Amino acid sequence: MLQVTNTLTRTKEPAVPSGAGPVRMYTCGPTVYRYAHIGNLRTFMLADLIRRALEADGVEVRQVQNITDVGHLTNERFDHGEDRMLVSARLEGRSPAEIAEHYTRAYLADAAALNLQPARSYPRASAYVPEMIDLVERLVAKGHAYEVDGNVYFAVESFPAYGRLSRNSLDQLRAGHRQEGVDPRKRHHADFTLWKAAGPNRLVKWDSPWGEGFPGWHIECSAMSLGELGEEIDLHTGGVDNVFPHHEDEIAQSEAVVGHQVVRTWVHGEHLLTEGRRMAKSAGNFYDLRTVRERGHDPLAVRHLFLQARYRSQFNFTWDALAGAERALGRLRDRMAEWSRSPAGDGEALGGDTPALAAYQRRFRAAIDDDLDTPKALTVLGELESDETLPPADRFRAVAGFDRILGLDLANVAGEVLPDGAGELIARRERARAERDWAAADRLRDQLAGLGVEVVDTRSGTQWRLRR
């Protein structure tokens, strides 16, 4: 049984549904004002690993991942129209809706390239504004929120459990901790914004009982998680940077409204570092999958690299490490192709009655169940790969079973056949790249994606794989 570390209790707990039906999992998704960097994708991959491990055990998972298309303010104290969505819209000469649509499509393409399974639904914050207004009204009516000059704030002193997730207390939180300075309109400096009055330059705004405005960041996830999954949620995933204030505030809002605990288990992934620093655009160490491809690497090599560290550990990304992961991935693909051409082995099925095969299967699953110990799982896979006492076909079946969780798409190396017309498109794209006609090459990549073919430009030439 899969166990994960619950940030709320700081203990390992079974990832099982609280009642009848599927595991309900909410995943904090991207804010679609720019491309997701690979550190973001590592966090999203955490939810994918949890889901794959549960589904390998036959457990149904209802995963919801939000799309935040109502921008975050760069400064929450005053609205000068300078939130991230609007800044991107101005810089790129597009409307906020066009920015959101472009980067949403880009994120979904990146998720597919990293072999993240599609969520059951992708609610957009902009579609849930009426529900957000309703939640804010209910919080005001219950005495958990108050309005000043068209702004509505959550009163943290009205929620005694505030700080339980992050281990903060109101005494510990200094004035100005939210990095927007001290707002004199707040009753307590730790109170946070539920609804913001629109300033004169605000393009995206809605009518509300408090005048024209827009929602605070935290209320968005409360509205979408409650609306999509109900008042009892089994798992909520995100990055460690979401613990405070985002998830702390989400707990306060949701529980103050419904009157009981909503999320049972919170799971957070640690930061991805580059050059020893957290990956961020401002630090100049921001890499996305476009950069990975431009440097000739397969996006699934990124996935293999991320599996080499546990999700709760910080991990330092380097291009040399990615190249090493790509070599290891290539070797695995070669072995799987070789094994697939061999006669059937002794094992009747994955985890069959071959004792040696069953032992590898137990060790692999024990590593996964132990809070997603993917480094140990890869070690087991490596030992099985080199165990020449096992028939090749048995190794193929075992590794294919492991890959249901690892998600490296290893079984697809055997007998893959391109859809009709795809071979010609690949050849035309290679000619376009040789002629440095990048626009044509991009159009042909999109056409291939429409046929379910993912192409990757590597140092050794164009490679392809079928999307599942």
For the segment 239-264, what is each residue's pLDDT rounded down to a tens digit? 999 999 999 999 999 999 999 999 99
pLDDT category at 320 given cuts 50, 70, 90 is: very high
* pLDDT value of residue 388: 93
Q: What is the mean pLDDT of residues 116-132?
A: 96
Q: Please determine, for residue 99, whether its predicted confidence score (pLDDT) is greater than 80.
A: yes
Q: How far apart are CA 250 and CA 257, in angstroms?
A: 11
Distance CA 399, CA 411 (A): 8
Indicate whether 414 pLDDT > 60.
no
For domain 3-269, give the CATH number: 3.40.50.620
The CA–CA distances, whole Å, from 270 to 31, 47, 273, 369 equal 18, 13, 9, 19
Task: Please report the pLDDT score of residue 348 as a whole number.
Answer: 45
Give the sign of the dihedral formed by CA 407, CA 413, CA 419, CA 421. positive
How far apart CA 343 and CA 328 sit, in angstroms, is 25
pLDDT value at 362 more than 70: yes
Residue spans of the domains in the chain: they are 3-269, 298-413, 422-466
User: Does the pLDDT at position 346 exceed 80?
Assistant: no
Report percent pLDDT > 70 for the chain: 88
Confidence at residue 455, expressed as pLDDT on a 0 to 100 scale: 80
**pLDDT score at 80:** 41
**pLDDT reported for residue 419:** 82
Tens of pLDDT, residue by residue over 51-92, are: 999 999 999 999 999 999 985 544 333 334 445 655 655 566
pLDDT the model gives residue 442: 87
Closest CA to 79 of 180, 221, 189: 180
